Amino acid sequence: MTTTTNSHTWIGKDIKRREDPDLLTGRAEYTGDVKLPGMLHAAVLRSPYAHARIVRIDTSAAKKVPGVHAVLTGREATVVLDPLPAFCAEPVVEHAIAVDKVRYAGEAVVAVAAESRYIAEDALELVQIEWEPLPPVIDVLEAMKPDAPKVHENLPSNVVYEHVFIFGDVDGDFARADHIMKRRLRWPRATAAPMEPAGAVCKYDPPSGRMEVWSTTNMLNYVGWLIAGSLKLAPHMVNFYPMYTGGSFGSKHVTSKVIAIAGALSKVTGHPVKFMEDRIDNLAANDAQAADRIYDAELAVTKEGKFLSLRLHAIDDYGAYFVFAITGNTNMMSQISGPYTIGSLENGIKAVLTNKNQQGVFRGAGSDVGNWVLERLVDATSDELGIDGIELRRRNFIQPNQFPYKMPTGNVYDSGNYPGVLDMALQHANLDYWRQEQVRARKLGRYIGIGLATCQQRSTYSATEFWFHNPGPATGLTTTAESVRIGIGPTGGITVTMFSPFWGNSPETVVSQVVGEEFGVDPTTVSVAYEGTSQGLPSAGPGGSRMTVMLSGAVQGAAAKVKEKMYKIAAHLLEASLDDMEVREGRVWVKGTDRSLSLTDIGMKAYWNKFDLPADMESGLEGSFTYDHPYTTAPSEDRKDLGVFYPIMGHAAHIPIVEVDIKTGQVKFLKYLAVHDVGTVVNPRSLQGQIRGGIAQGIGVALYEEVRYSPEGQNLTTTMNDYLVPTVAEVPHIEIYHHVTPSPFTAYGVKGGGEGGRMVAPPAVTRAVEDALKPLGVKIDELPMTPEKIVKWVTQAQAKTP
């Protein structure tokens, strides 16, 4: 249901995914499927304490178990293993296996390699550890106090990072405002929990110093050289193979810990070693728990409902380590003022360490939280000023003629039509009917609520977001390139090689469709391959909703190189001008004539008929292209301007209709409507799948998902019985429409759409539940809205109104 006409042949065509047949028949090879001669299996003993010193470890009995090849404590592992790679500037050191002290319940203490996972786990049961428990630091507000026990003794405080970013005249705008909306808001610690836990198989070859790695990591080319440092290997001696990955949602960007454990055990035993997390390993220790924030949030508003300025102060519970620094907070500064013309803003960040598994990345990467906080303030404004939420948004939207739009932090929004997206949503929402239903139901004691959220979905990250929170000159990573190689064989068949792996997205389909477009061939005839890092070209890998944008650009660039050579060959053979060449329908034509050569004609000449080529031309027909980020700039040294770092900006409007059972706290969806604008659509059905899956995860964090810890620091959600992700019973039918505003900066005008569903659903669902409970006066300031919380809110509200 795309609204604009499509001038392309294959871009935007709703073809079946290229990836699926192998996945449907069980032939796709995931990391856990790898089996090598002599391969051992690893298992890990985890800390029962949230915070404790390791006094003594006795592994002698474990070592005697037949079939056990190695038992490694953290201290012993340091011979082959340095600390894990970290992106933070702060001296927060993490070992793959804890050395001397554990900082969260579930941290690895001993690793075993044995002939089977069964034997490895038997051996772990025989390990004796003497512990000195330390007082755990669990509550984030307690952790901030000066006398709190320290998670890392080398740091002055558990507040590991603190800074207030100010963009524009925030104080002045607040002074000028007629109203200030204030809320204290609580976003829960969720986690990606992909169906495939993380894992790795490492095979070390002592004579050559080479290591081969089959793993679940998505960022092969980053991780390769980072983990080489931890494993004390030369980076070019480590080869990562691209594996099919069973979902990531951000959690498998690095997965350095599983690689380090398998790699260390392989170095020690001389055997290939497989270490796959089981679900408990994953939920307790995957290093991918997500934003866990308390916000003091304020919006300065005029009496007409115009938003002037936004002031946010966050306390974020980062857990025991700090691998990605505060990327979850920097990320949201790309779209923190949303689709609205807010002139100034302040973003205060306190990152706090506690005795919990650390934060990593989860779909949205903090921008999910930002959207929820902003829309909570917009809804509060609507309620307090008595301005309808739709009208209020219209008054504040950036208008279509204002793009490219530089927002207060310095990031640029490339293009958009926010009123158009909202109009499309309203056109399909049938709100008049639902408002009548709402009135009718309330008379019967039933509570129906209508939600609305209009949010940004940034895509295509730039690496500056990893470090610009630290002041000073631009010294960090600035490259996030993606490469492909296109080869046309002697018989005219086209092969595209990618250098980043499949992780549940549709890279094979995307590159096939773009190649189809570029050469005028049927995408199903294109052969797609993945390459490991030893043969690799620069590729940052999937993340930050970038792959469709980056692969489209890379394919277009490589295709241009191949076409240039094809044109030279064809012009030479057809005795025509180079300028008159064009490719369509799989042939190179002399424009405006019926003279042409097929790809096979040209391929045969390129590979086998040197005499027929132009004199100075080398044989073969292939082109590689490394596509750099389409639009990124450096931050200013004073960080009053963060530069352009996430400019490919999508947008969405969601309208869920829910019914809340106030006795049981159950929330039932009566309708869910989503309109997304992610620029030019490459493949409608795979985009719809991404949106629906993202909305399911957004419903998850709105209603169910939370990693919970006891006051002693025990993780209470280490099984899928306890960490509740939505099942088919909870996720409704989701109606999707596409609005198309192409990006001016990318190939074909594509934008990334991988995270939008999860970034927009939480505020929409929150508003729907709040609207349902409006007659009771319930205000919602925290997620997830579990049944027990809803019943509690309703009970409290009823107690207030006699």
Applying CB under 8 A, which residues contact another protein?
A: 16-17, 19-30, 32-33, 35, 66-67, 117-118, 192-197, 244-247, 249, 278-279, 503-506, 685-686, 688-690, 692-697, 719-721, 725, 727-729, 731, 733-734, 757
Which run of H or E residues covers position 223?
helix 220-230
Closer residue to another protein in complex, CB, 246/370? 246
Q: What are the tokens at 698?
A: 């957004």
Smallest gap from Cβ 545 to another protein, in A, equals 14
Closer residue to another protein in complex, CB, 12/410? 12
Closer residue to another protein in complex, CB, 192/515? 192
- The answer to whether 772 and 644 are in contact (CB under 8 A) is no
- The answer to whether 715 and 709 are in contact (CB under 8 A) is yes
- The answer to whether 756 and 650 are in contact (CB under 8 A) is yes
* Calculated CA dihedral for residues 779, 781, 782, 783, nearest 10 degrees: 60
Smallest gap from Cβ 365 to another protein, in A, equals 17
Helix-helix angle 389-396:418-429, to 10 degrees: 160
Smallest gap from Cβ 192 to another protein, in A, equals 8
Report the distance separating Cα 259 and Cα 281, nearest Å.
14
Closer residue to another protein in complex, CB, 20/423? 20
- The answer to whether 701 and 760 are in contact (CB under 8 A) is no
Closer residue to another protein in complex, CB, 504/679? 504
Smallest gap from Cβ 685 to another protein, in A, equals 5
Closer residue to another protein in complex, CB, 401/727? 727
Closer residue to another protein in complex, CB, 173/281? 281
Closer residue to another protein in complex, CB, 180/731? 731
Report the distance separating Cα 564 and Cα 222, nearest Å.
32
Which run of H or E residues covers position 308?
strand 307-319
Angle at 304 between CA 303 and CA 305, to 5 degrees: 90
Relative to beta strand 273-276, strand 40-46 is parallel
- The answer to whether 62 and 127 are in contact (CB under 8 A) is yes
Smallest gap from Cβ 669 to another protein, in A, equals 12
Report the distance separating Cα 656 and Cα 654, nearest Å.
6
Smallest gap from Cβ 723 to another protein, in A, equals 10
Closer residue to another protein in complex, CB, 721/801? 721
Closest of 655, 58, 624 to residue 375, by C-alpha: 655
Smallest gap from Cβ 377 to another protein, in A, equals 28
Smallest gap from Cβ 727 to another protein, in A, equals 6
Closer residue to another protein in complex, CB, 110/761? 761
3-state secondary structure 189-218: CCECCCCCCCEEEEEEECCCCEEEEEECCC
Smallest gap from Cβ 276 to another protein, in A, equals 8
Smallest gap from Cβ 20 to another protein, in A, equals 5
3-state secondary structure of 300: strand
* CA quadruple 45, 47, 48, 53: dihedral sign: positive
Q: What are the tokens at 678?
A: 């992610």
- The answer to whether 232 and 254 are in contact (CB under 8 A) is no
